[in-house]
Amino acid sequence: MLEFRAAVEAGDFTALGDLLADDVVFRSPVAFRPYQGRAVVAAILRGVGRVFTDFRYVRELADADGRGSALVFETVVNGVSVHGLDLIRLDDAGRISELTVMVRPLSAANALAQAMAAEFPRIQAEAAAAGETR
């Protein structure tokens, strides 16, 4: 989790792709169905990096087995304060196999949904260029 946290805190969302398992599952706070696969999840994370401002982690909780953690964050999206949680699970190789993001309050979820909808054509193009469009 340290590599993930360090990359996000540094604003290096491009580096996150290297930390993802090939079959990673991403559960978005604003989409009903999960996204699966490194290319599309990496593209989504880069999109998140473009819409978040003043991002910071404020707390970290870890599972006893060292394979799971919860990172509590605060950020701003289009002028709206967002409080959120990244739930991360690692596979046997130490890569991120599951990433679930939750945000609050509703106004923050709505701002995030709107900002990410604007990013989605670029996200789809980046995922397609990497060979995956799911």
For residue 86, the domain's CATH number is 3.10.450.50
pLDDT in tens, 59-86: 999 999 989 999 999 999 999 999 999 9
Q: How far apart are CA 74 and CA 87, in angstroms?
A: 14
Residue 134 lies in a domain: no
pLDDT at 38: 95
Q: What is the mean pLDDT of the chain?
A: 93
Mean pLDDT of 98-102: 97
- Please check whether residue 133 lies inside any domain of the structure: no
Q: Which range marks the domain in which residue 33 is found?
A: 1-127
Q: Is residue 65 part of a domain?
A: yes
The predicted pLDDT at position 48 comes to: 95
Positive/negative CA dihedral, 43, 45, 49, 50: positive
> Domain total for the chain?
1
Q: What pTM does this model have?
A: 0.92
Residues whose CB is less than 8 angstroms from the CB of residue 123 and which lie 6 or more positions away in sequence, other chains included:
40, 43, 44, 46, 47, 116
d(CA 6, CA 32): 28
Pairwise CA distance, residues 23 & 74, whole Å: 28
Model confidence band, residue 132 (pLDDT cutoffs 50, 70, 90): low
Residue 81, strand partner residues: 76
Tens digits of per-residue pLDDT, 15-43?
999 999 999 999 999 998 999 999 999 99
